[in-house]
Structure 1
Amino acid sequence: MKRMTNYYRLLLGAFVALICPACESFLEEEVYTEYDPSKLLQTEEGINSVLVSAYGELQFKGNIREFNHTFAEFPTDIALESGGGFEREAILFVNFQWDDSHAFFSNSWSKMYRAIRNANSLLDNASAVTAIPEQRLAELIGEARFIRAAAYFHLYDLFGPVPLITTTETLDMEPRRPTEEAFAEFVTTELREAANVLPPIQDLKGKATKGAALAYLCKFLLNTKQWEQVVDVTEEIISLNRYALFPTIEELFTVDNENNSEFIFVHPYLPLSGNGNTYMAHAFPPNYPVLPNWENYGAQYRSYTSFVKSFHPDDRRGLMFVNEYTDTQGKQVLLLEDGAGKPLDNARSFKFVPDPAAIAAFHGNDCPIIRYADILLSRAEALNELNGPDGEPLDLLNQIRERAGVPLLTLDDLPTEEAFRDHLLQERAWEFFSEGLRRQDLVRHGKLIELARQRGKQAMPHHVRYPIPRRELEANSNLIQNEGYE
C-alpha cells in the first residue's frame, strides 16, 4: 500500500511539472449560463425578457404573505395569525419579537435587489441599443427605472435607506447606506423621470404606466411627509382622467371585476400553482365549506374583534368579514364574540372574494398595490396638513365614505387638523384592511408603538423599522444596522 501511495505521488508530481510551464494566463472559457447584453438587448424581445424577469422579482408572488400580511398587518391593530406551521413565524411579528436573523428579512431584501439588478442590466446597456425607435426605447428604459425605484420604495418601507446600487458594473462590493435626503432624492427623481416617458396604457396588466409611476411617487412623498409635493402629484394623477372609484366596494376584489379603473398598479395573479394569490387559503376558518377545488390551510389569518366592530352598521366594507358560519359538520361557529359577548379576535376578512376557478390554494385575484381611493385619501391628508380640513379634504374623504354607504362628515364632525388627521387614519384602516398598508400608515402617524403597547406588546421605538438582515451585515462591513438592533 505504501509503494502504491508513493507511486501516485510521483505521478501527480510529474503531471504538475508538465502543466505548470503553460500556466502563464487564466483559462478562457465560453460561458453559456449568462446572456450577452450587447446582443440580447439589441431587440425589443430581448429587452422584454429582462424586464419580465425584473417584474417577476418586484412582484410579491411567493412572498405575498410576508409583504402584505406578516410585515404590514400582523404588528398592527387590525390583524393577527395563528395555527399551522406558519404560526411559528407570524407570532414573532404579532408580538414584536423579530430580530435580524429572520429569513423573511433576508429573502425580501434579496428579492428586491434582484429586481434592481435586472433593471440595472438593461439601463447599463440602453445607450448601445440602435435597433429600436427612440420613443419606444425611452418607454422601455422608463419601465426599468420604475422597477428599480419601486423596489427601493419597498426596501425603504421595511428598512429605511438602503445602499443605492445603480449599475451592474460597480466595483464597490461593500456599498454604504445613503442619507435619508440622498435616498429620497434618488427615488423621487427616478419615479418622476419614469413618469415622463411611460405610456398611459400598457398591453399587459402589471406593467408600469405613467399613472403607476406617479402613484408610487405619491406614496413615497406621503410616507416621507412631503405634503406640498403630494398635492402636486395627486393633481397630476387626477388630471390623467383615467381613474375612478369602483361603484361597489364589496365587489371590487372579485376576479370578475379586477379589470377596473380604480386599480392603478397591481401584481397580477392566475389560479395556477406558483402564480396564484394564496390569501384565502389562510383566511378560511376551520371546516369552512370550501369548494372541492379550494384548499384550506391550517394557518389562520384573523381580524381583531375591536376592529371589525369599529365599522359603522351601514358600512358596506364591513360586509367583507365572515363573523360566523355553519361548518361542514352542521355546527354554527362564532368568530367575532362568544355567546357571552367575549371578543374572540377570530373574524375573517374575505376581501379577496374566493375565486371559483381556484386551484387548491391558488386564486386568481389580482393584488392591488396602489388604487385610486389611496390617491384621494393621500391628497386629503396632505391638504389637511397644509391648510386644515375645510373644503377639499372633507370632499375627498366623503367620496370614499359615500361609496361605502356611511354618513358623510361635516366640519362640525372634524373641526380641526388633528381631528381630521385622527379620523383619516381610521378611515384608511376601514378602506385598506388586508391590502398591506396599515403598518406604514401607523408609522407615518406615529401610532404603531403606542397602539401595540395598548395591546400589551413589548413594542419599542426602534420597531418602526425592521432590522437590516444579519446575512447582509456579515457580507458588507460598511452596512450600519438600524438603531435598536445593534
Structure 2
Amino acid sequence: MNTFKLYRMVLLLVTGVSLSCTDLDEQLRSELEQGVANVNAADLLIGAYTALNTPYQQEQRWVLEEISTDAAMAPTRGGDWDDNGIHRAIHQHTWNADNSYMNNTFNNLLTAQFQASNVLRNNPTPQQAAEARFIRALTVYDVLNLWGVVPYREDLDDFRIPPITLQATEAIDFIISELNEIMNDLPNSGAAYVANQNAAKVLLMKLYLNRGVFLDRQNPTFDPADMNHVITLADQITASGRYTISAPGKYFDNFAPNNHTASTENIFTLYNEFGVRGGGVDRTWNTIAHYNMTPGGWNGWCTLSDFYDLFDEEDERLGIYYEYPADTMANPGKRRNVGFFIGQQYNLSNDQPLMARNPSSQPLSFTREVTIRTSGNTLETAGIRVLKYAFDYSVPSGQRNNDWVVFRYADVLLMKAEAILRGGTGTSDQALALVNGIRANRGVAALSALTLDELIDERGRELYWEGWRRQDLIRFGKFLEPWQEKPADPGPHTLVYPIPSQQLAVNPNLEQNPGY
C-alpha cells in the first residue's frame, strides 16, 4: 500500500534521524501528518504488522540473535559476504556502534513501535487497539533484549521532542502492564498471524523468564515468583486446547508454505502470502543455497560442526525428506530437502550430483570444516547449510507463502521446564517429562535426567535458527564463552549491543552502553 512509504518518511522524524536539522520543512511535516491522519486504523494496523517483517524474517534482529552465536555464521567467501566485516564482527563479538545491522535493526524496531502507536490515534476498535499494543510491547521487548534500554515516543504530534529512554525496570513494567490490560480484548481463537491472547501470554512468559537477566546480565537471578508466573502462563496456554506438539514426521509443518493450516504448534506468526503481502522469507533459502542448487542462492550462511553434533542422527529436526504440497521437485532419491545440508548435494529433479561453480570439476559437497574467512577450494563448499522453511516452489517468483514463526508451543513447554528447574513449583521429573514428550515426537530417545546444561542443548536442537539462541546463551551464562571461530569475550559489555552511533547523534536522551 502507498501508506508504507509514508511511514518510512515519518520514521525520519520519529526516531530522530532528522532532528539534527533545525530548519525542518514545515510544509512537508504538515503533508505527512495529514496523510497519516487520513489512513484508517485497519490499514495502519496492517502496516504495523508488516513493519515486523524486516527485522524478523532472517534479517536484522535475526542476525543479531543467531549469527552472534554458536548456531550460525556468515563466513566471508573470497570477495563475497565481506560487507566491511559486519558479519564477522557479529559472530566474533567485535562489533562497534557503527555496525549497520545494529543501526538498521534499531531503526526498524522503532518503526514498528511508531506504527503500532499511530494505530491508537485513529479510532481503532478495542481489538485493533489491543493488537497494536501487543505489537508495540513486542518491539519494546526486542529493543530491551538487544540493547538494555528502550527509546519510547510518548508524543506523536511534535516530532521535535525526542523519545524518552525507558530503563530496564521501566520497560519491564511497561510490557507487563500493557499485556495485562489488553489481554481480554485480544482474540482467543483464529489465525496465528493475528495477535492473540496466547501470544501475549508467551511474551509475558519470556519476560518473566528473562527479567533477572535484563536487570543484571552478568549475574542474573531467577525469582521463584517469576518462575511460577512462567509455569502458570504455560498451563493456561496448554489448557486452551489449541496446540499440540507436531506428530512424528511433521516437525517441518511448522515452517512449510501451508503452515498457517498445517501447524499444530504455531502461536504467533508473521503473515506471508504471494500477491498479497509479507516479508522476505525466501531469504532462508537464498542465504544458504549454492548458486547451482534449484533455485540458485547466494552461497552464504552456515552452521558450525559443534552445533550440528548436538543432534542424534535419528533426530527429525536434523533434516528429512519432507513431502509438502508446494514441493514440485520430483526428488526421485528422496533426498533431504529441509534441515541441515551436509555432504554431496543433488539436483532434486533428476537426482544427479551437483558440482561447484568454480572449479566446475569440484563436487558440491558441503563440509563440516569452515573458517570465518574461506578461500581456494573451500570457497563454495565450506560449512553445513541450514534450511528450516521448506522452499515454496509453487510461487514462480516473489513473495513465498510460509508464515514466519515468532512463537510456538514447543518453546512454551521448554520454558515451563526451565522455570521448574530454576525454582518454580514442580519437580525435576515433571520438567524431564515435558522435554521427553517433545523428543519422542522428534524421533529421539528419552533423556534419563534433565540439567540446565542439557536443557540449553535441547533448546538449541528444537529452536535452531528461530531467533532465540543469543538470548538463551546469555540466560544460561554461556554467551561470553569461546566457540568455533570466536574466542572468549574480553569483557561482559557484549551482553548488550552498543547504541548505534546514528541514534546517539540525534537523541539526547540516549547514552552509550558501558564498555563501548
Shift of 1:39: 6.4
Instruction: Tell me the residue number matched to 2:237.
Output: 237
Instruction: Tell me the residue number matched to 2:313.
Output: 313
Residue identity in the other structure for 1:353: A
SS in 1 for 2:301: strand
Which of 268, 272, 277 is the aligned partner of 2:271? 268
Give the alignment's TM-score, normalised by structure 1: 0.80
Instruction: Tell me the residue number matched to 2:218.
Output: none
Residue identity in the other structure for 2:268: F
1:88-103 equivalences under 5 Å are 88=83, 89-103=86-100
Shift of 1:282: 1.0
Shift of 1:97: 1.9
SS in 2 for 1:479: coil
SS in 2 for 1:152: helix
Contact 1:100 1:467 in 2 (8 A): yes
C-alpha distance in 1 between matches for 2:101 and 2:478: 24
Alpha-carbon distance change, 29 to 348 in structure 1, aligned in 2, over 3 angstroms? closer
Which of 383, 391, 410 is the aligned partner of 1:346? 383
Shift of 1:231: 1.4
Give the alignment's TM-score, normalised by structure 2: 0.76
Alpha-carbon distance change, 86 to 35 in structure 1, aligned in 2, over 3 angstroms? farther
Answering whether residue 311 of structure 2 is matched by residue 285 of structure 1, we say: no
| CA RMSD between the two structures | 3.0
Contact 2:272 2:278 in 1 (8 A): no
Unaligned 5+ runs, structure 1: 1-26, 41-45, 130-136, 415-419
Unaligned 5+ runs, structure 2: 1-25, 213-225, 320-338, 346-352, 370-377
Q: Which has the larger radius of gyration?
A: 1
Answering whether residue 73 of structure 2 is matched by residue 74 of structure 1, we say: no
SS in 1 for 2:406: strand
Shift of 1:196: 2.2
- Matched residue pairs, number? 428
Shift of 1:219: 1.6
Shift of 1:379: 0.6
Answering whether residue 114 of structure 2 is matched by residue 117 of structure 1, we say: yes
Instruction: Tell me the residue number matched to 2:143.
Output: 155
SS in 1 for 2:120: helix
Shift of 1:192: 1.9
Instruction: Tell me the residue number matched to 2:202.
Output: 215
Which of 395, 405, 408 is the aligned partner of 2:446? 408
1:15-414 equivalences under 5 Å are 31-35=30-34, 46-60=40-54, 64-68=58-62, 70-82=63-75, 83=77, 85-88=80-83, 89-124=86-121, 126=123, 137-169=125-157, 173-202=161-190, 206-225=193-212, 226-247=226-247, 248-259=250-261, 260-271=263-274, 275-277=279-281, 278-288=283-293, 290=294, 294-298=295-299, 300-319=300-319, 320-324=339-343, 325=345, 326-328=353-355, 332-337=363-368, 346-359=383-396, 363-386=400-423, 390-410=428-448, 413-414=449-450
Higher mean alpha-carbon deviation, 251-260 vs 93-102, is at 251-260
Shift of 1:271: 4.9
Shift of 1:345: 6.2
Contact 2:245 2:410 in 1 (8 A): yes
Shift of 1:212: 1.4
C-alpha distance in 2 between matches for 1:276 and 1:453: 29
Shift of 1:152: 0.7
Instruction: Tell me the residue number matched to 2:506.
Output: 475
Alpha-carbon distance change, 335 to 447 in structure 1, aligned in 2, over 3 angstroms? same
Shift of 1:448: 0.4
SS in 1 for 2:467: coil
Instruction: Tell me the residue number matched to 1:443.
Output: 474
Residue identity in the other structure for 2:404: C
Residue identity in the other structure for 1:431: E
Residue identity in the other structure for 1:381: E
Instruction: Tell me the residue number matched to 1:7.
Output: none
Contact 2:254 2:266 in 1 (8 A): no
Alpha-carbon distance change, 349 to 178 in structure 1, aligned in 2, over 3 angstroms? same
Residue identity in the other structure for 1:398: N
Alpha-carbon distance change, 36 to 303 in structure 1, aligned in 2, over 3 angstroms? closer
Contact 2:290 2:296 in 1 (8 A): no
C-alpha distance in 1 between matches for 2:362 and 2:159: 65
Contact 1:177 1:480 in 2 (8 A): no
C-alpha distance in 1 between matches for 2:265 and 2:443: 18
Contact 1:143 1:198 in 2 (8 A): yes
Shift of 1:258: 4.1
Shift of 1:36: 6.7
SS in 2 for 1:483: coil
SS in 2 for 1:370: strand
Question: Cα deviation per residue 1:424-466 (whole Å; 9 max; x = unaligned)?
Answer: 1000001111111111100111110114499425553111111
C-alpha distance in 1 between matches for 2:459 and 2:133: 29
C-alpha distance in 2 between matches for 1:165 and 1:30: 17
Question: Cα deviation per residue 1:341-370 (whole Å; 9 max; x = unaligned)?
Answer: x9x861111221222124457543222011
Shift of 1:409: 2.0
Instruction: Tell me the residue number matched to 2:216.
Output: none
C-alpha distance in 2 between matches for 1:36 and 1:302: 44
SS in 1 for 2:457: helix
C-alpha distance in 1 between matches for 2:301 and 2:29: 50
Shift of 1:391: 2.9
Instruction: Tell me the residue number matched to 2:13.
Output: none
C-alpha distance in 2 between matches for 1:378 and 1:390: 14
SS in 2 for 1:229: helix
Question: Cα deviation per residue 1:246-296 (whole Å; 9 max; x = unaligned)?
Answer: 2121443221344222111112224569844111011113533x1xxx341
Shift of 1:95: 1.7
Shift of 1:302: 0.7
Shift of 1:401: 0.8
